[in-house]
Structure 1
């Protein structure tokens, strides 16, 4: 979701980001309101497997929002595949560490500027759609892949939610774009919408990538 958001060329009059897990929204809120303090928190952080495991084992509920945002970004940058749940320390054989403040600082500064005026929500996807659905609204949905529903955090999104999502999107007043893995079950659930197959590579431990197919679903 964040990748799509930050690559947008045109900025509409109103933008809302929703993250049920809460970690992305907390990070964006800190970048939006406390950017200098956030940068100070990260300034002397190094890439270390031991530090990665320490922060991974830490209970985020015991941290301040600033510490929590720094922890989330550090783990996301260094976790293999950028996973939210079940994270493992990623090894890069072909370049420097992905957590490099000299390279990361310009990206975070741009993010700080981009988030100006954006509303940050922390709702269940259905509550979010119901609240903001109206003619002229465009939703971008990035649910967990079919078969990997636990990757965004257990209890947040179950497989049964796909059928509910298809039904709700069928009654949408606005429009939507959704990206998801291309499997027969998804094609069956969302058969009433436009389905476009795209090819890409998923990262793997060897660094070569493995070919994969995804669907862009629109309606």
Structure 2
């Protein structure tokens, strides 16, 4: 394992683990492993914040825009900054870019478009609305964003990026010294990341495939009776936390850490 400088996610993401990443990373870093893989990496809310890296790191997402952004950040960071240099925070620009077909753009333009939309959208949901508040600075500011992107660029060195179905990713990288961290859509939110990308039947498939792997896994999910039944063959750790909603009120939430090993909080 090599000590590295953690980085922050480069943009908001639905289910970005803002409240849970510390507890998740604490458990990940307590597991001895040589390969680390995330089948649902999203904006890297856990992946980027880890402070130790093994011999191989694999970031996977079925969303090609996510994979393209990370690849551009890793290999063409200066050019990405040049493309975004004169971008402004604008509702009109947000709506214009949202209507653009990304397949008509270069990879650099695609990455800049996707990053701009994710930064500007309320809650990181591009299908939602332009995010603005009367008492806060704009969500897109290159002067504030540049150090975040630079840190992510450094953290992504030597990372392998995949654009596979989650099941294919697990089959390809499974081994006795592999650790998978899975952050699938939550039960009841299967369509939150796009219609048809993930359906409720996938939970049973996840449990089946994880039951036959050679490596270890840690999965985080909302605590539901259906989830407890499907994953009953594994270990459960209950986690309580509070979410702050738009009105400013805090609501209690119950989550589960599911694993096929006995969790520890330290390799020592």
**Shorter-chain TM band:** over 0.9
Distance (whole Å) between structure 2 residues aligned to residue 80 and residue 145 of structure 1: 19
TM-score (norm 2): 0.76
- How far does residue 119 in structure 1 lie from its aligned partner after superposition? 0.5
The count of residues paired between Structure 1 and Structure 2 equals 218
In the alignment, structure 1 segments of 5+ residues that lack a partner are none
**Aligned-partner Cα distance in 1 for 2:114–2:245:** 21
Q: CA deviation at 1:214?
A: 2.0
Q: Please, which of 45, 51, 55 is the counterpart of residue 3 of structure 1?
A: 45
Structure with more helix by fraction: 1
1:42 alignment partner, one of 75, 78, 84: 84
1:203–1:210: 8 Å Cα contact kept in structure 2? yes
- 2:188 is the alignment partner of 1:150: no
| Counterpart position of 1:28 | 70
Match of 1:80 in 2: 122
In the superposition, the TM-score normalised over structure 1's length comes to 0.92
Residue 161 (1) aligns with residue 202 (2): yes
> What is the rounded CA distance, in whole Å, between the counterparts of 1:209 and 1:23 in structure 2?
32
Distance in 1, matches of 2:184 and 2:143, equals 32
**Residues 60, 68 of structure 1: 8 Å contact kept:** yes
1:32-181 to 2 correspondences below 5 Å: 32-83=74-125, 86-181=127-222
Counterparts of 1:124 and 1:38 in 2: how far apart (Å)?
A: 27
1:85-141, CA deviations, whole angstroms, 9 ceiling, x for partnerless residues?
x33222335532222111110010011111111100010001110011110100011
- Cα displacement (A) at 1:4: 0.5
Per-residue CA distance 1:51-79 (angstroms, 9 max, x = gap): 11111122111111111111111111122
Structure 2 unaligned regions, length at least 5: 1-40, 261-268
- Provide the aligned C-alpha RMSD in A: 1.7
Classify 1:206/1:17 alpha carbon distance in 2 versus 1 (closer, same or farther; 3 Å).
same
Native 8 Å contact 1:138 1:174 kept in 2: yes
Report if aligned partners of 2:219, 2:258 keep a CA contact under 8 Å in 1: yes
Secondary structure of the residue aligned to 1:149 is coil
Q: Residues of 1 paired with 2:257 and 2:146: CA distance?
A: 32
- Other-structure match for 2:3: none
Contact 1:197 1:215 survives alignment (8 Å): yes
